[in-house]
Structure 1
Amino acid sequence: MSKQPTRRSTTLLAAAIGAVLAFGAVTQVNAQSASERSAQRRAAKESGGKAKPAENQYPNATRTSPEAKASSKGGAKLQKMMDAYDKEKFPEARAQADAIIADTGLNAYERSFAAQIGFQVAYDADDNKAAMDYLKKAIETNGLDNNSHFDRMFVLAQLQLQEDQYAESLATMDRFLNESKSTKPEHLIVKGNALYRLERYADASKVIKQAVDGSPEAKPEWLQLLMATYVENNQGAEAAKIAEQIAAKNPNDKRAQMNVAAVYSQSDMLDKAATVLEKMRAAGQFTEDKDYRQLYSTYLNLDGKEKEAANVINEGLEKGVLKPDYQAYVALAQSYYFSEQANKSIDAYKKAAPLAPDGETYLNLARVLWQEDRIPEAKEAAKQAIAKGVKKPDDAKKILALKGK
């Protein structure tokens, strides 16, 4: 007897897992707007010009905070720059900031402060390259108090991460953590993200887990990042636990449930993946083409679940959610074939073959027709296979040489 149509391996991971792995910077950059700075200055004036001293955010830092004080000469220049900034004359404010930064006769505080304003203007203008350059100048000039100095360093690391400068972001975060001695989860997670982007998954998982464990209520995106790190590091069981944790907190969140199924599939726990997906289907959550594809693909990779795969495909097609394309029809044909429903398999192959990129599907159709002793139809399918192109034309020619009309 001729060669049987072979079960094809189907991609298990749907777009859901792709979404998990597509992180940008975890923490948003915090740039102070002109209106916010004006409000702070007004509040200081209303309180007699004495703003409440800021709490030391980095009490364990190895850096000694310098005296943040402007000279009479520099103070006038800073005031002029700030007036332009507060009046939203941003090009003028940036030009004055550049002049202050370049004036080596001014002290470190004045030049660092001007670099901060240059950063704010550039960042608000979506000029991230210039914004990062200003931050580097503010840090290198070393004139800001510890709160401002380390906050600027942290913002720099985040911008580098957003700009795909992963090695640079990691270097900045290593310096930040070493000098500030911070163990705050919101700081650790940025280092973990940089390590993840650099594909240092074992190192990333340790840092991210430290951030998650150190947070009273870890953010969902932190958990997703930890899960993604485990997936990439082939730690399926750990990834599944995180996915289950996220899904349990969000029972009605479709993406969370799809992620659980995707992680189960990635970890070869296909029966669990199918269970999760079936619950979603029963709940009416299958609203996209990819939903049906993920479930029928899962069934096709489970022994003895071909009938279930066929049911899923037919439901998706009947509802108009699953696209009636080559992949759907060939999967349906295989589902019927391996569940010993030859005639239905033939019907599905007849729909799939004209949509196929080559003649291999016509050849499989010819084989099934031959097995069912439908020789004339088998020969016609073999002709179509040769015309469309197959890897082994001799297999089709054998069918054409069969006796019978």
Structure 2
Amino acid sequence: MNKQPTRRSTLLAAAIGAVLVFGAVTQVNAQTASERSAQRRAAKDSKPAKQENQYPNATRTAPEAKASSKGGAKLQKMMDAFDKEKFPEARAQADAIIADAGLNPYERSFAAQIGFQVAYDADDNKAAIEYLKKAIEINGLDNNAHFDRMFVLAQLQLQEEQYTESLATMDRFLSESKSTKPEHLIVKGNALYRLERYPDAAKIIKQAVDASPDPKQEWLQLLMASYVENNQGADAAKVAESIAAKNPNDKRAQMNVAAVYSQSDMLDKAAAVLEKMRAAGQFTEDKDYRQLYATYLNLDKKEKEAIGVINEGLQKGILKPDYQAYVALAQAYYYSDQIGPAVDAYKKAAPLAPDGETYLNLARVLWQEDRIPEAKEAAKQAIAKGVKKPEDANKILALKGK
């Protein structure tokens, strides 16, 4: 009969797996209604600059963007209401212009833009999306406005978790505008990532990152996440390292490096990163200590290091004195041949355990040490709390001795 706890299964059960701690990947640059209103007033008070063609390679031939005398008067009335922040009135007038088939495409598309702006300022994204679709479908804007509206539509669809629709919009946008700008490519990559098409996402996100002289950190995080999900551990590690190198004092960036190393089965490197953070006083949360001791417990002959980490965390009051911490400590002591401290840790872990298995392991260790009365008492506790194999506990109870 095996008197000892099964090493691998129990150690892994006690370990808390490392997880990536990405920040939220931005989907659209959201502003509050008041911020957008202030921005709009500032734009109205400034002199409009002559716009250059932002899409010189576009396949679309821009229509004549000009208002008729009849339509111009309607647009002016709508804009007067909009500028005076009479938004329900401006939106109603925009709806009327859009529905008037006698007006030209420019006038109706322009009105759809205003409808979009009013809806968006009111945080009515569902309506805002529909106005953008109308502005694009009516097809009356110049190329700058037309493609800019299409790009905003893709971002709003992404924000509203309409990932398939966002991807379709971006495919059309990139095909017709012929844009290769990284800020455009990244939106398509984001949609692909959220659709769990990780190889495709990684490819286009990397294209965006490579095309940017100073890629945003969230782009790199998205690329790293795509690599992780696609089991490209080495590639993910390189990205994580580059982020951490640029942000040496950013705890989250360093933890991500360690997490990527762990998920890529480079546990020695993960431990080295985490130890450096511990030495720098960056272990301020329970999960920090758990990630490091779990890493050590999954490395060969690193039980003593795990013991040091757990005891430090407990002494500092940062690591919670719960079942997982105590059972990990018990097993680390046991497998480094420190039976006395192992028993003490098991005695702390067993009452906190969800079942009687830890009491049964304690009973086995006590039996091994010929502490029969104590072993029997632990076996009783194991049966009372519930174990998978009560017969194992009963064998200990049947031992000779009080």
Asked whether the equivalents of residues 115 and 128 of structure 2 are also in contact (C-alpha less than 8 Å), the reply is yes
Asked whether the equivalents of residues 34 and 86 of structure 1 are also in contact (C-alpha less than 8 Å), the reply is no
Deviation at 1:102, TM superposition (A): 1.2
Alignment match, 1:121: 118
Q: How far, CA to CA, are the matches of 1:224 and 1:63 in structure 2?
A: 34
Report the AA paired with residue 374 of structure 1.
Answer: R
Alignment match, 2:160: 163
Q: How far, CA to CA, are the matches of 2:317 and 2:379 in structure 1?
A: 32
Q: TM-score, normalised by structure 1?
A: 0.94
Alignment match, 1:12: 17
Report the AA paired with residue 101 of structure 1.
Answer: I
Alignment match, 2:292: 295
Asked whether the equivalents of residues 150 and 180 of structure 1 are also in contact (C-alpha less than 8 Å), the reply is yes
Please give the residue correspondences for 1:193-208 in structure 2 after superposition, counting only pairs within 5 Å.
Answer: 193-208=190-205
Question: Structure 1 stretch 304-313 or stretch 100-109: which is displaced more?
Answer: 100-109
| Alignment counterpart, residue 69 of structure 2, candidates 65, 69, 72 | 72
Deviation at 1:37, TM superposition (A): 4.1
Q: How far, CA to CA, are the matches of 1:164 and 1:59 in structure 2?
A: 31
Alignment match, 1:219: 216
Q: Is 1:83 paired with 2:80?
A: yes
- What are the Cα deviations for residues 111-134 of structure 1, in whole angstroms up to 9, with x where unaligned? 111111111111111111111111
Q: CA RMSD in A?
A: 1.6
Deviation at 1:104, TM superposition (A): 1.2
Q: How far, CA to CA, are the matches of 2:225 and 2:5 in structure 1?
A: 36
Structure 1 unaligned regions, length at least 5: 45-50
Please give the residue correspondences for 1:176-325 in structure 2 after superposition, counting only pairs within 5 Å.
Answer: 176-325=173-322
- What are the Cα deviations for residues 348-372 of structure 1, in whole angstroms up to 9, with x where unaligned? 1111111111111111111111111
Deviation at 1:39, TM superposition (A): 4.1
Deviation at 1:93, TM superposition (A): 1.3
Alignment match, 2:29: 28
Equivalent residue pairs, number: 395
Structure 2 unaligned regions, length at least 5: none
Asked whether the equivalents of residues 29 and 159 of structure 1 are also in contact (C-alpha less than 8 Å), the reply is no
The percent of aligned pairs where both chains have the same amino acid is 82
Question: Structure 1 stretch 120-129 or stretch 4-13: which is displaced more?
Answer: 4-13
Report the AA paired with residue 5 of structure 1.
Answer: P
SS in 1 for 2:318: coil
Report the AA paired with residue 327 of structure 1.
Answer: Q
Question: Structure 1 stretch 75-84 or stretch 1-10: which is displaced more?
Answer: 1-10
Asked whether the equivalents of residues 158 and 169 of structure 1 are also in contact (C-alpha less than 8 Å), the reply is yes
Alignment match, 1:2: 2
SS in 2 for 1:239: helix
Q: How far, CA to CA, are the matches of 1:368 and 1:268 in structure 2?
A: 31
Q: How far, CA to CA, are the matches of 1:384 and 1:2 in structure 2?
A: 20
SS in 1 for 2:65: coil
- What are the Cα deviations for residues 331-364 of structure 1, in whole angstroms up to 9, with x where unaligned? 1111111111111111111111111111111111
Q: How far, CA to CA, are the matches of 2:85 and 2:152 in structure 1?
A: 22
Q: How far, CA to CA, are the matches of 2:135 and 2:359 in structure 1?
A: 68
- What are the Cα deviations for residues 201-246 of structure 1, in whole angstroms up to 9, with x where unaligned? 1111110111011001111111111111111111111111111111
Asked whether the equivalents of residues 33 and 120 of structure 1 are also in contact (C-alpha less than 8 Å), the reply is no
Question: Structure 1 stretch 228-237 or stretch 95-104: which is displaced more?
Answer: 95-104
Q: How far, CA to CA, are the matches of 2:138 and 2:318 in structure 1?
A: 60
Q: How far, CA to CA, are the matches of 1:381 and 1:39 in structure 2?
A: 75
Deviation at 1:42, TM superposition (A): 4.1
- What are the Cα deviations for residues 81-110 of structure 1, in whole angstroms up to 9, with x where unaligned? 111111111111111111111111111111
Asked whether the equivalents of residues 81 and 89 of structure 2 are also in contact (C-alpha less than 8 Å), the reply is yes
Report the AA paired with residue 267 of structure 2.
Answer: L
Q: How far, CA to CA, are the matches of 1:361 and 1:256 in structure 2?
A: 36
SS in 1 for 2:214: coil
Q: TM-score, normalised by structure 2?
A: 0.95
Report the AA paired with residue 13 of structure 1.
Answer: A
Q: How far, CA to CA, are the matches of 2:82 and 2:172 in structure 1?
A: 31
Report the AA paired with residue 4 of structure 1.
Answer: Q
Deviation at 1:11, TM superposition (A): 3.6
Deviation at 1:6, TM superposition (A): 2.3
Against the structure 1 CA distance between its residues 34 and 320, is the aligned structure 2 distance closer, same or farther, given a 3 Å change threshold? closer
Q: How far, CA to CA, are the matches of 2:305 and 2:42 in structure 1?
A: 63
Asked whether the equivalents of residues 26 and 218 of structure 2 are also in contact (C-alpha less than 8 Å), the reply is no
